[in-house]
Amino acid sequence: MRLNGAETLVKTLEDQGVEIIFGYPGGTVLEIYDALLNSSIKHILVRHEQGAAHAASGYARATGGVGVCLATSGPGATNLVTGIATAYMDSIPIVFFTGQVPQAMVGTDAFQEVDITGITHPITKHNYLVQDIKDLPRIVAEAFYIAKTGRPGPVLIDIPRNVSMDIAEFIPYKKVEIRSYKPTTQGHPSMIKKAVQKIQDSKNVVFCTGGGVIHSDASDQVKKIIDLTKGKVVSTLMGLGAYPADRKEFAGMLGTYGNQEANNIVQGCDCFVALGMRFDDRVVGNPEKFAPNATIIHIDIDPAEIGKNIHADIPIVGDVKNILIDMIKLMEKHQAPHESINFIHPERVPPVLPGRNVPWILKKLSEAAPNDILITTDVGQHQMWTATYYDFNKPRTFISSGGLGTMGYGIPAALGVQVAKPNQLVIAITGDGSFQMGMTEIGAIAELGLPIKILVFNNQTLGMVRQLQHYYSNQRYTGVHFENKIDFVMLANAFGAEGYRIDDAMNAPAVLEKALNNGKFTIIECTIDPENLVLPIVLAGKGLEEMTKNP
């Protein structure tokens, strides 16, 4: 079978089981778009390439599969960059395809030429510039393999237009074999033994779920090990949902904006078990003061994360799930009667006062929402409130930009999530700042008729930056106020969406109830006080337990 490069690509994608591509066309991907016309793969047309990248991320995170994204050369490719970096920081498996000018023109500063493999070296797990149509099936197969195995991450394939047009005999590439890439998946038995011994000898064990628990689908194993050890659980932002928030052992998110109780138990524990996490600076606070009395057991699939930010007393490299399975086996074999830890479970969050404030509206949302609701957020105060006040009980239900902190992530990510899960309710929680960065995809959502809900907390302020200025710039507020008032209801209507406004806190339950059940794309605006602060917080240089409650 003789195919051109574009047909070869599409055929290879079909063989990979790809069903959805998020993309935006252009001159160097004409042939690929043409080939997609004859394919079972559905193309979702976004409004901006960055939206395609975030949508692919939402899709990958909701399904646990690999997201696929397609853009043209030059600006199409550079518009992906923020989305690629976002995926890289949060270890999300996405394969990006970009068109490139024909090989004969590469390096001539041709129209819409950019060195996208050069630009994306630091923010991809790996990338390729295809030089020959014969390499295409192998490169695509390798890209999917690299994206989803080991520590997942984005991979980019840049395809010059002449490669898309070239014709060659199609030879499928069956088995991926990369001699220089063999991720360790099984933990070292002696380390596992040591860790189990340490956990059983400790009085106060805290397990911390990171994003790796979700990537490796290890929630059941975490539950099992908690049952066996009677340990407590905290979570990073990326790990929320990995352990059910409604279980009593769960103390919430740790870190700068974490739950006070979570931070307290981490600082007081004698054994801290890090499950698929990387000790980000927002998680650790002052690294010198982190969990001062604890033996740190660090489990991660990426050896480079071990000892990078926090010294690991017992490092175990491998897949969290496999390691937990091995640990559980050992524990069941030599079960030491473990003392139940005195864990007085206080309310994870301080009491919430009724009013137009984010925690209270979120409480009303959780009362109105079905159990399987999928939540995306943007970045800022609303994100931290959602992370600390909303109960996430299942993995892959909280989808948010963690490492890069990308404003404008929530709305396009919701698009991808809803495409992946057409029968579940998807809500994007955002602020008016982030909304205006991600609003390009409102057009795409409206066109697709997706019944996504966008809950926008409007304070005409970049609340988190204002909060930083509050603490670190002597309350000299600058560049954080939006003077013009947007009518979000009219905006929704302009796109053919439903628009609601919560202008009285007492109406919130009714408005939310109506919005969640109308089956339509809906934007709900709730105005809030711009002076609200996310509290308590850990100020720069402090240990996690030294949270300030003072404005």
Partner 1 sequence: MKHTLIVLVENNPGVLSKVSGLFSRRGYNIESLVVSATDDPNTSRMTIVVDGDDKIIEQVSKQLHKLIDVIKVQDVTSQETVDRQLLLIRVATDNNTKSEIIQLMDIFRARVVDIGQKSLTIEATGDEAKIQAIIKSLKPFKIKELVKTGTISILRSN
Residues that bind partner 1 (CB under 8 A): 117-118, 121-122, 125-126, 129, 131, 146, 178-181, 302-304, 307-308
**Distance separating alpha carbons of residues 278 and 209, to the nearest angstrom:** 11
Q: What are phi and psi of 278, to 5 degrees?
A: -125, 15
Closest CB 79 distance from partner 1, rounded Å: 22
Confirm if 226 and 259 have CB atoms less than 8 A apart.
Answer: no
**Distance separating alpha carbons of residues 45 and 377, to the nearest angstrom:** 22
Closest CB 476 distance from partner 1, rounded Å: 31
Closest CB 121 distance from partner 1, rounded Å: 5
Closest CB 32 distance from partner 1, rounded Å: 23
Those residues with Cβ within 8 angstroms of residue 422's Cβ, 6 or more apart along the chain or in another chain: none
Tokens 């399987």 — which residue?
Answer: 372
Tokens 């003392």 — which residue?
Answer: 339
Closest CB 193 distance from partner 1, rounded Å: 24
Burial class of residue 86, CB neighbours in 10 A (0-12, 13-18, 19+): buried
Closest CB 145 distance from partner 1, rounded Å: 10
Closest CB 221 distance from partner 1, rounded Å: 26
For the record, the structure tokens of 461 come out as 């302020």
3-state secondary structure of 46: coil
Which DSSP string corresponds to 17-34?
T--EEEE---GGGHHHHH
For partner 1, the closer of residues 302 and 546 by Cβ is 302
**Distance separating alpha carbons of residues 21 and 98, to the nearest angstrom:** 12
For partner 1, the closer of residues 7 and 300 by Cβ is 300
Those residues with Cβ within 8 angstroms of residue 85's Cβ, 6 or more apart along the chain or in another chain: 123, 404, 406
For partner 1, the closer of residues 125 and 356 by Cβ is 125
Closest CB 291 distance from partner 1, rounded Å: 19
Closest CB 117 distance from partner 1, rounded Å: 7
Burial class of residue 196, CB neighbours in 10 A (0-12, 13-18, 19+): buried
Closest CB 238 distance from partner 1, rounded Å: 19
Burial class of residue 95, CB neighbours in 10 A (0-12, 13-18, 19+): buried
**Distance separating alpha carbons of residues 283 and 19, to the nearest angstrom:** 36
**Distance separating alpha carbons of residues 455 and 432, to the nearest angstrom:** 10
For residue 481, give the DSSP letter.
B
Closest to 211 in 3D by CA, of 203, 201, 200, 219: 219
Specify the length of the chain in residues: 551
For partner 1, the closer of residues 130 and 492 by Cβ is 130
**Distance separating alpha carbons of residues 271 and 302, to the nearest angstrom:** 21
Tokens 């309710």 — which residue?
Answer: 425
Closest to 412 in 3D by CA, of 14, 86, 13: 86
Which DSSP string corresponds to 203-244?
SSEEEEE-HHHHHTT-HHHHHHHHHHH--EEEE-TTTTTSS-
For partner 1, the closer of residues 154 and 231 by Cβ is 154
- Going edge to edge, which strands form the sheet with 205-209? 250-253, 232-235, 205-209, 271-275, 295-300, 314-317
Tokens 């606070």 — which residue?
Answer: 285
Alpha helices in 240-391 (DSSP H): 260-268, 281-284, 320-333, 358-368, 381-389
Closest CB 124 distance from partner 1, rounded Å: 10
**Distance separating alpha carbons of residues 480 and 492, to the nearest angstrom:** 24
Closest CB 99 distance from partner 1, rounded Å: 18
Closest CB 105 distance from partner 1, rounded Å: 17
For the record, the structure tokens of 320 come out as 């969290």
Closest CB 182 distance from partner 1, rounded Å: 10
